[in-house]
């Protein structure tokens, strides 16, 4: 029976697990979306929700509680000023986990976990990344062409 | 040490193995690109899930 066995151990000892979860929660609050394994995503979900509850309360004591768990001050500011106000009338269920595929190497199932209501920011982020990538590619192609021309010229001479 | 008393017939082996088989993976169809994909997962071909582009996909693969 798996009575009284709730929670995830993630193959780590207590301090390692606590550090991992704190890092993940901080990353999710700062970045809106994090790609990880399904087990880790399921393990951090309640911790993120607890942080958002603190953010919705918004008083000094809850801010200090958040500071004691999150890794950076910027994460706390973002939690209280931009993340928590998104969920005014929602009671929990602030996150979405979508399975995306399998990891090379150990075959672990991957997923991303993202904050609800951050779709717009995430889409913009992705678009920006794609633009940067396209630019880099263009420059590289230009360089390749120039190199080719130079080579051709040398052969002719 | 205990040892087997009688030789196993091939029939007995075959009977035991009659339940050893693999089952095919259950697959669903992507509503966007109509490719087969695992259910409850983002489509690896077009990167869509529940009407939203969720993954970056190489243009050539699209
Ligand atoms: Zn698809």
Backbone torsions φ then ψ of B4, nearest 5 degrees: -65, 140
- The model's confidence at residue A113, banded by pLDDT at 50, 70 and 90, is very high
Residues A77 and A152 in one domain: no
Whole-angstrom Cα Rg for chain B? 23
Residues A78 and A153 in one domain: no
**3-class DSSP assignment, residue A143:** helix
SS3 letters for A11-75? Answer: CCCHHHHHHHHHHHHHHHHHHCEEEEEHHHHHHHHHHHHHHHHHHHHCCHHHHHHHHHHCCCHHH
For A66, counting Cβ atoms within 10 Å of its Cβ (0-12 exposed, 13-18 middle, 19+ buried), the class is buried
* Mean local confidence (pLDDT), A138-147: 91
Give yes or no for B28 touching A (CB within 8 A): no
Residue A83: inside a domain: yes
Residues A106 and A143 in one domain: no
- The model's confidence at residue A153, banded by pLDDT at 50, 70 and 90, is low
Say yes or no to pLDDT of B60 above 60: no
Task: Write the ipTM.
Answer: 0.75
Residue A46: inside a domain: yes
- Buried b / exposed e along A37-52 (16+ C-beta atoms within 10 A): bbebbebbbebbbebb
| Cα diameter, chain A | 83
Q: What is the A152 CA–ligand 1 centroid distance (Å)?
A: 44
- Predicted model pTM: 0.82
Host domain of residue A140 = 118-157
- Domain-terminating residue out of A83, A99, A116: A116
pLDDT tens for B2-36 read 999 999 999 999 999 999 999 999 999 999 999 99
Interface size, chain A vs chain B, as Cβ–Cβ contacts under 8 Å: 23
Residues A79 and A98 in one domain: yes
pLDDT tens for A1-36 read 999 998 899 999 999 999 999 999 999 999 999 999
Residues A93 and A109 in one domain: yes
Residues A82 and A32 in one domain: yes
Angle CA A106–A108–A114, to nearest 5: 140
Q: What is the pLDDT of residue B62?
A: 43
Domain count within chain A = 2
Residue A85: inside a domain: yes
Mean pLDDT score of chain A? 93
Do B56 and A98 make contact, defined as CB atoms within 8 angstroms?
Answer: no
Residues A97 and A150 in one domain: no
Q: What is the pLDDT of residue B53?
A: 76
Q: What is the pLDDT of residue A156?
A: 60
Q: What is the B46 CA–ligand 1 centroid distance (Å)?
A: 4
Q: What is the pLDDT of residue A154?
A: 65
Do B56 and A126 make contact, defined as CB atoms within 8 angstroms?
Answer: yes
Residue A84: inside a domain: yes
Q: What is the pLDDT of residue B56?
A: 74
Task: Tell me the nearest-neighbour CA distance from A40 into chain B, angstroms.
Answer: 17
Residues A57 and A126 in one domain: no
Nearest to A48 by CA among A67, A72, A24: A24
- The model's confidence at residue A83, banded by pLDDT at 50, 70 and 90, is very high
Q: What is the pLDDT of residue A80?
A: 96
Write the CATH number for A105: 3.90.1030.10
A96: tokens are 């979405």
Q: What is the pLDDT of residue B43?
A: 92
Owner of token pair 């889409």: A123
Q: What is the pLDDT of residue A155?
A: 62
């Amino acid at each position: 029976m798996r009575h009284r066995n709730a929670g995830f151990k993630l193959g780590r000892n207590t301090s390692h697990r606590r550090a991992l979860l704190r890092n993940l929660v901080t990353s999710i609050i700062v970045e809106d979306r994090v790609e990880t394994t399904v087990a880790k995503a399921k393990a951090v979900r309640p911790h993120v929700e607890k942080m958002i509850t603190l953010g919705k309360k918004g008083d000094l004591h809850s801010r200090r509680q958040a500071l004691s768990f999150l890794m950076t001050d910027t994460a706390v500011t973002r939690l209280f000023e931009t993340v928590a106000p998104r969920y005014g009338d929602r009671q929990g269920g602030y996150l979405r986990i979508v399975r995306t595929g399998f990891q090379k190497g150990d075959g672990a199932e991957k997923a991303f976990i993202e904050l609800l209501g951050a779709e717009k920011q995430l889409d913009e982020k992705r678009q920006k990344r794609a633009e940067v990538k396209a630019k880099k590619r263009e420059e590289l192609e230009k360089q390749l062409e120039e190199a080719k021309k130079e080579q051709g010229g040398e052969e002719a001479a | 040490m205990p040892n087997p008393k009688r030789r196993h017939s091939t029939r007995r082996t075959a009977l035991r193995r009659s339940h050893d088989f693999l089952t095919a993976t259950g697959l669903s169809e992507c509503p966007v690109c109509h490719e087969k994909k695992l259910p409850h997962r983002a489509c690896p071909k077009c990167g869509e899930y529940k009407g939203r582009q969720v993954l970056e996909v190489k243009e050539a693969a699209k």
